[in-house]
Amino acid sequence: MKKQISEILKIIVIFLFGKFKKFTLRFKKSKSMKDIMMVYYSEAKSARLTGKKVAWITSGGPVEPLIAMDVIPIYPENHGAMIGASKMGAGLCETAENMGYSSDLCSYARSDIACATVNGGPIGGLPKPDMLVCCNNICGTVLKWYEIQARYFNVPLFVLDTPFCHTGYSDEVARYVRSQINEYISFIEKACGRKFDYDRVKKVGHLSFQGQQLWQAVLDTAANKPAPMSAFDAFYHLALIVTLRGTPEVIDYYTALLAKMKDRIARGIGAVPNEKYRLLWDNIPIWHRTRWLSDKFASHNACLVADTYTTAWCGSMKYIDESNFINSMAEAYTRIYLNIGVDEMAKMVINMIDKYDVDGFVLHSNRSCKPYSFGQMDIQRIVEKERGIPCLMLEADMVDERTFSESQISTRIDAFMEIIKERKKHSPANETVS
């Protein structure tokens, strides 16, 4: 009884804090990421008080129907990134291993499963879900991970199965995924106890599309020399397009960010003060080492100007039909970067190499993320063959710090940069200048 009262009191405090924060935000000219995320998590954590439902959803899952029904979406993967960035990954992964999970399992899954039992991590655990939505367009691990959580929290689970698209998008796949969207809507209707709001989802879809366009525009600014932002900045600003796409907050935030980047371009300010070398990053960030890596590359006057990871949240925009969001979203969510063949991925990588005019390609072979890391060796070979730029493979993990070996990574980066510097010194472009 006592425990329950203190639990309710805690929720009330979180609720009031969120309300207060939201109120003060109205008077702020520019809202910081931290402020927005604080409001978002406090609203989710006090959902029981406001009668709102909470759904946990995979990072590549179709969130717009949930937002249209006032369900608060929560992303265990975003939480995983926060755990990694707070360097709390190893401890939580160990807890999961003590529970019996293999150390080969994805570290987002391990830390999330562990966190649910101990309410640990940087924000004291995630708000309890009323339902789970799992889309396997990003990997197969999420299936078991969400089944485990559905059992643990005893809540309904919806699985959206998106077949792997080696090349195109066949009619069979289109029909199969589209039919599941109807099931998804029925699932939400049942969980919320009311009819689905088709008018509202059109508005949400429009906002989502607009948000993705803005996010792409923000990332595009890095094509400028010097790049006004680096991939490390993108890793930070990404949080909103992942967690709040389909809401007006995203539009406001990225509109302001885009203006800021344009201003930096106009004033010639680069993310790396003496940008001489431009690099492309592949795979999920090494969240516990972003600062170290950023400094390391900057010490060589190198800027990671773009990455395949943050582009994933606007990479399949071309499949969205704004006037028919629900129908077209099936295809857009199925044909994301991690759910297409290696040749298609390599094509996208080569496009980025040309677009951002990079001198080298850094691939994070991520122990956790099998679908992202599996084809990397082939992609590297294709890039070497097609564009002839140096490539570097770094073995690490996005969250589990125990897999990171600083002096080895440091030597590899130094040697990679030595090669790039040597090549640039002898490149025809430089020779004519000097």
Partner 1 sequence: MSTAGIDIGSITAKAAIFDNGKIIATKVIFTGYNAELAGQRVYDEVLSEAGLGKTAIDKIVSTGYGRNSVKFADKSFTEIMAHAAGAHFLNPRIRSIIDIGGQDSKAILLTDKGKVKNFVMNDKCAAGTGRFLEVMARALEVNLDEFGAISQKSKSPSKISSLCTVFAESEVISLIARGEKRQDIIAGIHESIASRVSSMLARIGVLKPAMITGGVALNSGVVRALSKKLGMEIEVSSYAQVNGAIGAAILAASL
Query: Interface with partner 1 by CB under 8 A: which residues?
Result: 377, 384, 390, 393, 395, 403, 405, 407-408, 411-412, 414-415, 418-419, 422
Indicate the residue among 167 and 407 with the shorter CB distance to partner 1: 407
Indicate the residue among 98 and 407 with the shorter CB distance to partner 1: 407
| Residue-wise burial string across 362-399, b where 16 or more C-beta atoms lie within 10 A, e elsewhere | bbbbbbbbebbbebbeebbebbeeeeebbbbbbbbbbb
Q: How far is the CB of 122 from partner 1 (least distance, A)?
A: 27
Indicate the residue among 126 and 363 with the shorter CB distance to partner 1: 363
* CA-CA-CA-CA dihedral for 211, 217, 220, 222, to nearest 10: -90
Q: How far is the CB of 419 from partner 1 (least distance, A)?
A: 5
- Written in H, E and C, the secondary structure of 161-179 is CCCCECCCCCHHHHHHHHH
Indicate the residue among 175 and 402 with the shorter CB distance to partner 1: 402
Q: How far is the CB of 416 from partner 1 (least distance, A)?
A: 8
Based on the number of CB atoms within 10 Å of its own CB, is 52 exposed (0-12), middle (13-18) or buried (19 or more)?
Answer: middle
Rounded to whole angstroms, how far apart are CA atoms 340 and 318? Answer: 15
Indicate the residue among 42 and 366 with the shorter CB distance to partner 1: 366
* CA-CA-CA-CA dihedral for 341, 345, 351, 353, to nearest 10: -150
Indicate the residue among 161 and 414 with the shorter CB distance to partner 1: 414
Q: How far is the CB of 290 from partner 1 (least distance, A)?
A: 20
- Please name the residues in contact with 322: beta carbons below 8 A apart, sequence gap of 6 or more: 205, 206, 209
Indicate the residue among 7 and 422 with the shorter CB distance to partner 1: 422
End-to-end CA distance of the chain: 79
Q: How far is the CB of 403 from partner 1 (least distance, A)?
A: 7
Q: How far is the CB of 401 from partner 1 (least distance, A)?
A: 13
- Please name the residues in contact with 88: beta carbons below 8 A apart, sequence gap of 6 or more: 111, 120, 121, 122
Q: How far is the CB of 347 from partner 1 (least distance, A)?
A: 22
